[in-house]
Amino acid sequence: MSMTSAYGPAADRGEMIQLMRSAHDKGITFFDTAEAYGPFANEELVGEALEPIREQVVIATKFGFDIDPETGKRGPGTNSRPEHIKAAAVACLKRLRTDHIDLFYQHRVDPNVPIEEVAGAVRGLIAEGKVRHFGLSEAGIGTIRKAHAVQRVTALQSEYSLFWRGPEDDVLPVLEELGIGFVPFSPLGAGFLTGQIDENTKFDPTDFRNHVPRFSPEARKANTVLVHAVQAAAQRKGATPAQIALAWLLAQKPWIVPIPGTTKISRMEENLRAIDVQLREVDLQQMKNPPRSCHSRVTAYPRRCSR
């Protein structure tokens, strides 16, 4: 997402293509995009970057926002009507330069369309060979169960990190019960857990964090205690804070696959080395309930979670 939108101006296209191909060379095989990132620009970028290695990677993309297919202008709401899903899939395939989507997420729950109809539409796309797996994003446990009863849900993508631990309360147990994988976005707390952001940090005017309560200067200052806990663990392990944050997620469940985003090859390589960080039970206990302010429970993104 950060390659084309959200965290500031779009990055250099050639450099991003090189980054993705370098990531694959180093063993990364799972790439996440969405029609809404841009809109459309991110899928086009991913399609160009991965076309030469398409059969060696897994591509996830998302549908569900009301985006004009001609202008790319995004409307204010969601749109998961079955006919819209089918049209979106065809357009996604073209932009991604592929004949199938490995994992097709509903980007946000649409309150105007029963989830059973959404699951049925994706089931039809799977039968046609256009899609291989069905996913949900930011869905509550009731929605997950209803969708799963119609078409097996392969993965749920929602926010989860040391900075936001809401899924632990009810979502993770349901995913384990149903055999659904979990793909945490913002595993580094949108950059906060890296220790590179403090109350004096100035974001680009187009950066979404300017409008997130959790990233107000006051909240950032209050939450530095959490960053200090991560930094202390990093020092003990001879790792970076980002590697500790990712290792913590990997240690929670074997079916959790975090997706750290970056526009820098050096950061990609740093993130990848998190798999070599082994956290023992004592390490996890020390980070299980780090001191945190109430600001850390403020959601970072607009929610449309249906129970």
Q: Which residues are catalytic?
A: 37
Q: Classify residue 216 by its DSSP letter.
A: S
**What's the token pair of residue 58?**
């897994």
Three-state secondary structure call for residue 141: helix
Q: Count of CB atoms within 10 A of residue 182's CB?
A: 21
Alpha carbon dihedral 34, 36, 39, 44, in 10-degree steps, equals 10
Note the helical H segments in 194-296: 217-222, 224-237, 241-252, 265-272, 281-288
Strand ranges in 113-197 using DSSP code E only, listed in sequence order? 131-137, 153-159, 181-185
The Cα–Cα gap between 300 and 1 comes to: 16
- CA angle, 44 as apex, 304 and 305 as ends, to 5°? 5
The Cα–Cα gap between 130 and 133 comes to: 10
The Cα–Cα gap between 39 and 223 comes to: 32
**Radius of gyration in angstroms for the set of CA atoms belonging to the chain, rounded to a whole number:** 19
DSSP string, 30-47: EEE--TTTTTTHHHHHHH
Q: Classify residue 212 by its DSSP letter.
A: -
**What's the token pair of residue 42?**
């991110």
